[in-house]
Amino acid sequence: MAIEIERRFLVRVSAALLAANLTARYTQAYLARGKVAVRVRQTPKGYFLTAKGKGTLSRTEVETVIDTASGEGFMAMSPWGPIVKDRTNVPSGGLVWEIDVFGGDLTGLLIAEVELPTEDTPTPPLPTGLTLIADITEEGAQYGNAALAALSPVDSAALVALVRARGVMIEPVEKTLQEPFSTQPKAFRR
């Protein structure tokens, strides 16, 4: 069992920053939400089953590797739709900014997060091409992945319109992802 400490932000990001760093496709679905959120996630490295306790800046997290058949079975059992996102890792100040570019009904939502060793650790320097729009660490009820997974298409569209109005985007807009989103992960790329 571990304690996850992370800060989360709505962001504006340059397409050049995304293209210059490792990116991986993540598909995840939730089996439970509430006091404990239970997630199954498919990455290029395989499937993972994760339980996360309540909390915003810090919370308990337990994660284990599961086989493909179990992962696919858990994905199919989710009462909510899957979340599909491309995650780009950008090292900075000895830590890593994880920039999530969401697909599907959440296309247009960009969230960056950084895991910290302690709650008092300051966020690392921003890499060139990353602009913080709003700190959403304490807004898990609206921007947490478990909450995002439960949104209807109408509510997803409203949320995306709200964040776009706040300036969340990839710049230049016409140079976003080269491939359309699918539920299949893509290999890591440089």
* Pairwise CA distance, residues 39 & 76, whole Å: 12
pTM, rounded to two decimals: 0.88
Contact 70, 47 (CB under 8 A): yes
Q: Which residue has the higher pLDDT, 183 or 144?
A: 144
Choose among 42, 45, 79: nearest CA to 183: 42
- Give per-residue pLDDT as tens, 75-112: 999 999 999 999 999 999 999 999 999 999 999 999 99
- Supply the CATH classification number for the domain 2-175: 2.40.320.10
- Give per-residue pLDDT as tens, 27-74: 999 999 989 999 999 999 999 999 999 888 999 999 999 999 999 999
Sign of CA dihedral 167, 88, 69, 146: negative
* Pairwise CA distance, residues 72 & 88, whole Å: 24
